Amino acid sequence: MVLKERQEGVLVLTLNRPERLNALTGELLEALFAALEEANRDQGVRALLLTGAGKAFSAGQDLMEFGEAKPDYEAHLRRYNRVVEALSALEKPLVVAVNGAAAGAGMSLALWGDYRLAATEASFTTAFLRIGLVPDSGMSFLLPRLVGLAKAQELLHLSPRLSAEEALALGLVHRVVPGERLVEEALRQAQELAQGPTRAHALTRKLLLETYRLSLTEALALEAILQGEAGRTLDHEEGVRAFREKRPPRFQGR
Ligand code: LHQ
């Protein structure tokens, strides 16, 4: 369901139900959660890359999963929420390579990347309202923060299907590359991040997510605490030493 492959310090996770556009099932979500937890614990993993197998990134919730049954979505969302909490708490930078369609919760997963690339043929649609649902898997939290309230209203209520270029113009992705070069480029970026000051990346992720719900005074206090922590890392020492010696730093993730 989720392929795991180590490429030096990068863990590549591939959503792998290509016959169903990598639509999300309880089983796939469990596998993704386990992979994220394991990656977070593994000191050797210093960056992650998330992509999809086949022609889609992910079509969101598998709408065939429950057959004719009427599931309790509130309960089912616990599985999603665990994954989203794990993505937001990830202590390593996450690159997402959107290889094709990203819809509903599939689009939400893509947005949790710190650096997001899309293939030229990728597309994005929030999809929730089209089937009479509300945004979930963190979409209502992240989307207005990424694109502003007005665009979020449009993308949710009208649910247009955006091309990769449109997604780029909105800031939903950072870069668009031809499909045949997508994984190679994403991996290059992830490998660069994997050689970075991992702790500072983790703390920066935390700051960028936390400060939205804080006052300026609280945000300044949190910056000071996390700067204190970053300032005690060996990577900070190395960064300053390398600067003084006019050479590239050799960060170790500690
Ligand atoms: C699918 C799916 C799909 C199953 C295409 N499931 N088969 C969380 C938890 C609780 C409640 C529920 O919701 C959620 C969060 C959510 O994610 S809600 C949103 C669920 N996702 C959608 O509504 C997206 C539906 N799909 C689409 O809009 C399009 O298929 C996309 C944009 C993903 C791709 O379009 P195309 O590339 O044109 O492919 P297609 O539409 O022709 O689909 C190909 C096949 O995949 C087709 O089956 P078939 O047997 O006719 O070949 C689709 O039925 C199937 N498929 N999405 N989510």
- Which atom from ligand 1 is nearest to the alpha carbon of 136? 15
For residue 127, how far is its CA from the centre of ligand 1 (angstroms)?
9
Residue 222 scores a pLDDT above 90: yes
pLDDT tens digit sequence for 171-180: 999 999 999 9
Mean pLDDT across 32-52: 97
Q: Whose CA is nearest to atom 36 of ligand 1?
A: 101
Q: Is the CB of 233 under 6 A from ligand 1?
A: no
Q: Whose CA is nearest to atom 40 of ligand 1?
A: 21
Q: Is the CB of 11 under 6 A from ligand 1?
A: no
Q: How far apart are CA 150 and CA 155, in angstroms?
A: 9
Residue 212 scores a pLDDT above 90: no
Q: Is the CB of 20 under 6 A from ligand 1?
A: yes
> Residue 213's pLDDT is what?
83
Q: How far apart are CA 58 and CA 121, in angstroms?
A: 14
Structure tokens at 82: 């665990």
Mean pLDDT across 118-135: 98
Q: How far apart are CA 7 and CA 187, in angstroms?
A: 8
pLDDT tens digit sequence for 62-116: 999 988 888 899 999 999 999 999 999 999 999 999 999 999 999 999 999 999 9
Residue 151 scores a pLDDT above 90: yes
Give whole-number Cα distances, 60 to 64, 130, 166, in Å. Answer: 11, 13, 20
As a whole number, the mean pLDDT across the chain is 97
Ligand 1, pocket-test mutation among 63, 66, 123, most atoms within 8 A of CB: 63
For residue 126, how far is its CA from the centre of ligand 1 (angstroms)?
11
Minimal CA–CA distance to 234: which of 202, 197, 206, 209? 197
Q: Is the CB of 172 under 6 A from ligand 1?
A: no
Domains and CATH numbers, the chain: 2-194 (3.90.226.10), 198-245 (1.10.12.10)
Q: Is the CB of 58 under 6 A from ligand 1?
A: no
Counting residues of the chain whose pLDDT is more than 70, the rounded percentage is 100
> CB count, 10 Å around CB of 62?
18
pTM > 0.75: yes
For residue 101, how far is its CA from the centre of ligand 1 (angstroms)?
9
